[in-house]
Amino acid sequence: MSYEVDLEVFKGPLDLLLHLIKKHEMDIYDIPIAEITAQYLAALDAMKSLNLDIAGEFLVMASTLVHIKSRMLLPVEAEADSEEEEADPRAELVHRLLEYQRYKQAAVTLDEYHILGRDVFARSCCEDTEESEGNAELQPVGIFELVEALQGLLREAPPEPVHEVVREKLSVAERVSMLLELLGDCRSLAFEALVSRRPNREELVVTFLALLELAKLRMIRIMQNQRCGSIWLFPTETDAGRELPLQDENFGYC
Amino acid sequence: MRDVNCRCRMKILDTAELKAVIEALLFAAPGPVRLEQLALAVEAEPDRVKRQLDELEKEYRHMQRGFVLVELADGYQLRTRPEHAEWVRRLHSSRPVRISRAALETLAIVAYRQPVTRADIEYLRGVDSGGVVKSLLDKRLVRIVGKMDAPGRPLLYGTSREFLEFFGLRTLKDLPTLKEFTELTRESESLLLDFEAGIEEEPSPAAPEESGEG
Amino acid sequence: MRDVNCRCRMKILDTAELKAVIEALLFAAPGPVRLEQLALAVEAEPDRVKRQLDELEKEYRHMQRGFVLVELADGYQLRTRPEHAEWVRRLHSSRPVRISRAALETLAIVAYRQPVTRADIEYLRGVDSGGVVKSLLDKRLVRIVGKMDAPGRPLLYGTSREFLEFFGLRTLKDLPTLKEFTELTRESESLLLDFEAGIEEEPSPAAPEESGEG
């Protein structure tokens, strides 16, 4: 393969064009359009022969080049005599290449900065300490950040059930102790989190019975916030015998 | 990553630089660091590292510095001096903090889905959100707007006047519609539209008691 | 709270101790700290505090220490030295930050041309940039600063405070001007004029209708 270009490296058609211009020492302000088009198409062929997916942008640029080339072949129209320069079909491409080159180099410069988390490090102990600083004033944020947060959230929600439980025979007692363990260090747990991703009937029944046992023992509270909504489990305070009235104050916070 | 970061052979550190690097490691570490970890990271014998730790410890103690080096069960750690605790606390309380991701997410859910229960929030966020809700209540960005007519009568939350002020909105109607954010990706578009279904109208501030959710 | 936390009158700090306390505050703060916040916390005039900050800065720089003091958009922060990056990375628990060239190009365009639409970015880069923009939004290096008053009302992007912190900048003005990058002939400069309109001035961080952040 005569094209020993590292194809992975090119971030786009403009990048590839700049490379070809530099490599063949062309004058960017007077690009030999026939030659660059040939080089460019050859590069695309090289990509194809390597079975690389050629992004649509590369093909669009190919047709742009061919188009410019064909316009260059047309005889100069009489009306263009006053401002020949403006009629150069390559003008926009040159604009774009020069512009792209500037940002490409700006990117290189940015890369040389001492980047936080890569080249320099700040103290990393104290991120998100917000909970502990109950009444600290908050820095203002834009409304768009709010929506961005939501968008990020929706990308992941609703959460996948996290526990894949493997077992051969199910007993209610085992389930009870397993649930207690799960509940041990959480303040609440969704029912879905208790069963495997595709629970079979048996698993569901045993889990449900175990929950009822626990509820009877007053070791958990079971809540559902709407009909058909998800079921939530809340472990009760340690002394299991004590009756816990379902007060609002009890609902939320510890 | 740039070339400079890839040099795999590292030079052997002279004593003064070793001390500086150890200081850097202690400074940047998220918690206590064991002697062996330090030695491994700087490629020096533990004895040599220990000597520099002792040096640093003495230095911090004798010179008037802002922190000291303490040896804990699971390693060494830099800590501010107990005498300075009051000032540190003051800074923490006077310093406007950045709103946490958790708080922002929770606010977003409350804003767009109000009235909403804590369980709704937790379902969407996938994590326990009691602490965040409480802190938002404390900051008055969120308020209790009623109780749901359902078993357990869970509390319903909505946004407050302070919420509007905080985000510089005149009314809830000024909240950007989620659709306006869908241009980024097709994928998020469907997510957002799902989410928004039902609250197409102005998110009405609190329709407590009766509201059975959208 | 114990009694010791409630003493409300604090002694006035002598210079040496003031410096130590400032060091402690910088050390303990979870992010950059503004001069005014420091002054408030230590009950000293900003000038006096500034002098100690300068002292500390010099001290860290000249003595072989593990960190330096940098001034950023949001105030002062202690950071490890770039020369120590490799060692710190080795010990650091979290994966080192990586930033792709596509991301850097996009950041450069956003930084120099803000407020900018996704279409602008894609025109300049010549490739679809939705994914990069999204990931920069996720990393909070780029933020949505408003919507363009044009058909379709496309979103406008700008750099965030985190962008400045990420690159260790005090302001956008600290970025080198774009011109330094190219040796342009006079004719070619006129070609570029229309592109440059608007960025020749200080790249002002966007004041669109729905400006986020202060």
Q: What is the DSSP string of C29-65?
A: -SS-B-HHHHHHHHTS-HHHHHHHHHHHHHHHHHTT-
Q: Does B73 touch chain C (CB under 8 A)?
A: no
| Structure token pair of residue C138 | 């996720």
Angle made by CA atoms B151, B153, B156, in degrees to the nearest 5: 130
Is A123 in contact with C124 (Cβ distance < 8 A)? no
Q: What is the pLDDT of residue B179?
A: 62
Assess whether pLDDT exceeds 60 at residue A102: yes
Question: Does pLDDT of C13 surpass 50?
Answer: yes
- Whether cis (ω within 30° of 0) applies to the bond prior to A158 is yes
Angle at A209 between CA A203 and CA A210, to 5 degrees: 90
Q: Do domains C15-91 and C101-192 have the same CATH topology?
A: yes
Q: Does C116 have pLDDT greater than 50?
A: yes
* Whole-number pLDDT of residue A161: 45
pLDDT top residue among A205 and B114 = B114
Neighbouring residues of A204: CB distance < 8 A, sequence distance ≥ 6: A195
Record: fold of B101-192: Arc Repressor Mutant, subunit A (1.10.10)
Helix, strand, or coil (residue A2): coil
For the cut 50, the answer to whether the pLDDT of residue C210 exceeds it is no
A-chain residues within 8 Å CB-CB of B103? Answer: 130
Cα–Cα distance list, C41 to A63, C25, C44, C57 (Å): 64, 9, 8, 19
CB contact under 8 A, A187 and B130: yes
- Closest CB from B1, B100, B178 relative to A130: B100
Nearest-CA distance A140 → chain B (Å): 7
DSSP state, residue B77:
E
The model carries a pTM of: 0.65
The terminus-to-terminus CA distance of chain A in angstroms comes to: 68
Query: Is the domain covering B15-91 a CATH 3.90.1200.10 domain?
Result: no
Mean pLDDT of chain A: 70
* B108 contacts A146? CB cut-off 8 A: yes
Query: Closest approach of chain A CAs to the CA of C210, in angstroms?
Result: 8
Classify burial at B57, counting beta carbons within 10 Å of its beta carbon; exposed 0-12, middle 13-18, buried 19 or more: middle
Shortest CA gap B12–chain C (Å): 12
3-state secondary structure of C189: helix
Quote the pLDDT of residue C206.
39
CA angle A163, A169, A170 (to 5 degrees): 60
Mean of pLDDT values over A10-28 = 87
**Structural domain boundaries of chain C?**
15-91, 101-192
The answer to whether the CB of B134 falls within 8 A of the CB of A253 is yes
| Chain A residues touching B192 at Cβ < 8 A | 151, 154
Residue type at A214?
L
Q: Which of C163, C134, C156 has its CA nearest to residue C212?
A: C156
Q: What is the ipTM of this complex?
A: 0.70
The residue whose two tokens read 């002054």 is C39
Which letter, b or e, does each residue of B140-164 get, where b requires 16 or more Cβ atoms within 10 Å of its Cβ?
ebbbbbbbbebebbbbbbbbbeebb
What is the nearest CA distance from A108 to chain C, expressed in angstroms? 8
Q: Which pLDDT score, from 0 to 100, does residue A155 have? A: 64
- Mutation target for C interface from A31, A54, A58, A114: give the one with most C CBs within 10 A: A114
- Residue C132: C-alpha distances to residues A30, A150, A169, C157, C170 (Å): 33, 19, 49, 12, 25
Task: Give C 1-40 residues with CB within 8 A of chain B.
Answer: 5, 7, 10, 16-17, 19-31, 33, 37-38, 40
Cβ–Cβ below 8 Å for A140 and C214: yes
